[in-house]
Amino acid sequence: MDVATDAPHLTWADVHGPARAVVYRLLEEHDPAIARSLHDDGWRGHPLKPIGVTSPQFKGAPQKNGVYTTSPHGAIWFGSPVPEIAAALVTALARRTEIVWGNARLRVRGFSIEVAAPAPVEGLVELETATPVVVRHERRELLPGDEHYIERLAHNLTHKADVLGLPAPRSLRLLKAGPRRRFSVRGAPRIGAQVRVSMEADPRFVDAIRSWGLGLDTVQGFGWIR
Report if residue 95 touches another protein, rule: CB under 8 A.
Answer: yes
Q: CA separation (Å) from 78 to 44, 93, 184, 218?
A: 21, 9, 21, 10
C-alpha–C-alpha distance, residues 141 and 35, integer Å? 28
Q: Which one among 47, 60, 83, 179 touches another protein, defined by CB under 8 A? A: 83
**How many other C-beta atoms can be found within 10 angstroms of the C-beta atom of residue 174?**
14
Nearer Cβ to another protein (111/145): 111
Q: Which one among 9, 28, 29, 91 touches another protein, defined by CB under 8 A? A: 91
Q: How far is the CB of 94 from another protein (least distance, A)?
A: 4
Q: How far is the CB of 203 from another protein (least distance, A)?
A: 12
C-alpha–C-alpha distance, residues 213 and 204, integer Å? 14
**How many other C-beta atoms can be found within 10 angstroms of the C-beta atom of residue 226?**
13
Report if residue 84 touches another protein, rule: CB under 8 A.
Answer: yes
Alpha carbons within 13 angstroms on the beta-carbon side of residue 105 total: 5
Report if residue 88 touches another protein, rule: CB under 8 A.
Answer: yes
C-alpha–C-alpha distance, residues 145 and 142, integer Å? 8
Nearer Cβ to another protein (78/222): 78
Residue numbers 102-161 binding another protein by CB under 8 A: 109-118
**Containing H/E element for 88?**
helix 83-94
Q: What is the pattern of x (binds another protein, CB under 8 A) and - over residues 162-201? A: ----------------------------------------
Residues that bind another protein (CB under 8 A): 2, 83-84, 86-88, 90-91, 93-95, 109-118, 207
